[in-house]
Structure 1
């Protein structure tokens, strides 16, 4: 599969490479300095991910304080990602007009404001806060894809995008490791406010980078309602992007069902304490961190993106079933191992996926294509966790939700394998 109008050459998996001048001096940034944009996008991604997962990490405490069941944390996630979906649709035009760093700064500040509202112990305030966290989270990935697509050579795209996307499990690991203990020290409301302050600080620290990294912004670019559907229209018009987006719908459902319900599942079904369950959430996130880098390397060097994604889909299905079979009598090390592998696959797929989206996007439209596919990805998150919670409530166990994840994941495995191009000998990059 090749990009429409691409000037690239086929990579080792037969997929189109990014334009040959990806490492040229565009927008004032050269390849030799591209670890700087990777570093800043990684830090921003980690902060907004931590903001998103802070409340789920202490869901039982928050639910008790507000007087609702912890099962409804799925609705919180749905509201967050409804905001993220709307923001991702507008992100292409916003990044083009204001630049990647400015849009990311706005996202950090919106996440901070959303967490402040979530610290108000009413359902209404938390609903508004959740939506604002989502609006802040949504444009960060398209913004970083726009920046990294300009500074990354084709043969390193999966690895670099995967490293950047480790920011999501890093943020989740920070939420799982820090927030439960912090709420025991200062209370759940102050724990939320502390993460809000960290997001605001990150926005401030990014300001010196704005002039150089946002040099390609087009101040004449208009922000119009008609632009909101452009990213989705682009994705639906490209068969490769359409198939990838459909698989991401299922993958995101698996990822967020794991991260949203794991703490509650471990405390309710396996009798773990809140801090211990939070640490196991961190273990799954660490698996995602390692997985994202490893899968990116394997994809670039041997398998190619489609086969790598197919393998991860199969691994997600297997570990979802294994998670459903966990019980109190199992050794903790075995529970840890299952969740580590589940996290490595269900949280580790994004970098390979986003690099493939950037490859398949028409030249100069990586940010727009990413925004369009993420709208569909986020739709999976909006619908998936509430369905997971509904199934769990219907059958009286979270195990039912994990079992239900396996079938659509198996279908994605088949679709990705059927679309994978014929393997070609690896091309050594200079």
Structure 2
């Protein structure tokens, strides 16, 4: 039972909630991409990584259906604490080192990946003013980059210097700290939410399709999400196998992409605010990630180090920097008080990219290499940008 605050009580402050929700995303991101960062040392193949990612995001697609209901019943901070517990369980399973254990770990982590975004959207959407949403949601979405960047920098040295299990143990320690923090903050944000109807698949599709702008947003997010998950999951393996880098060097290269993505999530929010057009920003990001994927896939092996770093930074800026503006645009299109519901509905479509991209890469890589897989994903990202561009042109007519 969530206790209601008295009507006269002042609204709780935004910044502690923003920090907590950013930390939640960082924690889930760190756990989801930990196997990819230690893969060369742990002997995890692209096929195993693909199964892990597919399992995680397939379950997250299902668990996202429960996100709004869990938030309404338990509150955003209690959902965050439960996600931290799930991360502990998932990483504990990964320490067994077997392919089946990694697969089960992915299934478990999907239970955290689904509800965390609706929980954050519901809490922050209630606390922030509409004109500040793009910036606040962009800040919150940097959690994905913070988690992935920390994993890229810290987990490969742990795996090389100690053992892959030490990297998983570090993630577990972060989850324990997160659980304590979320529980300490929870009483201050235990605000009663309005009852939220359960949305099945049919209702979610109807909600998205009822608004042409939201439908275009959802469709374009499929290839964008697919590109992002493969960048985070497979780029270290791409660096060691096809670019001739060491494990640690490949980790640093991925960290540069994630650092650029972090800057991009903030920078794109500023650009969207000034242009007053999140769609234009998303089109630019889609084109940018498509060009980077095509160039890296076709010519990455023969590029100079400086050019490779530059292109990787731009890749991260676009492929990992678009999410904040995306979530803010969902919040802007949603009806008042229905932000979590709309977020869950659109993410149901978006998760298709997270689920489909890993098996696509697993199928293409044996024949065309990871470079060929990036080329294929670049084409799909260009198609996503085209969808947004066409919808924007239609809206002007």
- Residue 287 of structure 2 contacts residue 381 of structure 2 at CA under 8 Å; is this kept in 1? yes
Among candidates 371, 380, 385, match of residue 408 of structure 1 = 380
2:234 aligns with: 261
Give the CA deviation at 1:61.
2.3
Q: Is the CA contact (8 Å cut-off) linking 1:90 and 1:228 kept in structure 2?
A: no
Retained in 2: the 8 A contact 1:295–1:352?
A: yes
Instruction: Please tell me whether residue 379 in structure 1 is matched to residue 359 in structure 2.
Output: no
Aligned equivalents of 1:93, 1:327: Cα separation in 2: 45
How much does 1:334 deviate? 1.3
Say whether residues 1:196 and 2:172 are aligned partners: yes
Specify the alignment match of 1:338 in structure 2: 311
Equivalent in the alignment of 1:420: 392
Map 1:8-87 onto structure 2 (within 5 A): 30=11, 33-63=13-43, 69-87=45-63
CA gap 1:119/1:215 in 2 versus in 1, 3 angstroms: same
Structure 2 CA distance for partners of 1:423 and 1:175, relative to 1, 3 Å: same
| Contact 1:108–1:137 (8 Å) recurs in 2 | no
Partner-residue secondary structure (3-state), 1:363: coil
Gaps in structure 2 of 5+ consecutive residues? 1-5
Q: 1:240 to 1:422 in 2, by over 3 A?
A: closer
Native 8 Å contact 1:46 1:167 kept in 2: yes
Which whole-Å CA distance do the structure 2 matches of 1:277 and 1:399 have between them?
15
Deviation, structure 1 residue 233? 3.8
Aligned to 2:184: 208
Secondary structure at 2:127's aligned position in 1?
coil
- 3-state SS of the aligned residue for 2:335? coil
Cα displacement (A) at 1:240 = 2.1
| Contact residue 68 and residue 118 of structure 2 kept, 8 A | yes
- Of 95-104 and 122-131, more deviation after overlay is shown by 122-131
- 3-state SS of the aligned residue for 1:374? helix
1:176-187 matches, within 5 Å, as 176-187=152-163
Answer whether contact 1:29 1:212 (CA < 8 A) is retained. Answer: no
Aligned to 1:399: 371
Within-5 A mapping of 1:23-422: 30=11, 33-63=13-43, 69-217=45-193, 230-395=203-368, 397-420=369-392
Change (3 A) 1:377 1:26: farther
> Shift in Å at residue 242 of structure 1?
1.8
- The Cα of 1:127 is off from its aligned counterpart by 1.4
Q: Secondary structure at the match of 1:370?
A: helix
The answer for the alignment partner of 1:3 in structure 2 is none
Distance 1:38 1:394, change over 3 A: same
Q: How far did 1:223 drift?
A: 9.2
The whole-number CA distance in structure 1 between the counterparts of 2:170 and 2:96 is 14
How far has the Cα of 1:27 moved from its partner?
11
Number of residues of Structure 1 aligned to a counterpart in Structure 2? 391
Measure the CA separation in 2 of the matches of 1:126 and 1:412: 31
Measured at CA, do residues 119 and 29 of structure 1 come closer, stay the same or move farther in structure 2, by a change above 3 Å?
farther
Query: In 1, are the aligned partners of 2:64 and 2:348 still within 8 Å (CA)?
Result: yes
1:197 shift after superposition: 2.0
The structural deviation recorded for 1:190 is 2.4
The TM-score with structure 2 as length reference comes to 0.92
* Alpha-carbon distance between aligned partners in 2 of 1:222 and 1:363, rounded to the nearest angstrom: 12
Q: CA deviation at 1:232?
A: 4.2
Q: Scaled by the length of structure 1, what TM-score is found?
A: 0.86
Is the 1:165–1:350 contact (alpha carbons within 8 Å) kept by the matching residues of 2? yes
Q: CA RMSD in A?
A: 2.3
Q: Tell me: CA distance 1:110–1:223, structure 2 relative to 1, closer, same or farther (3 Å).
A: farther
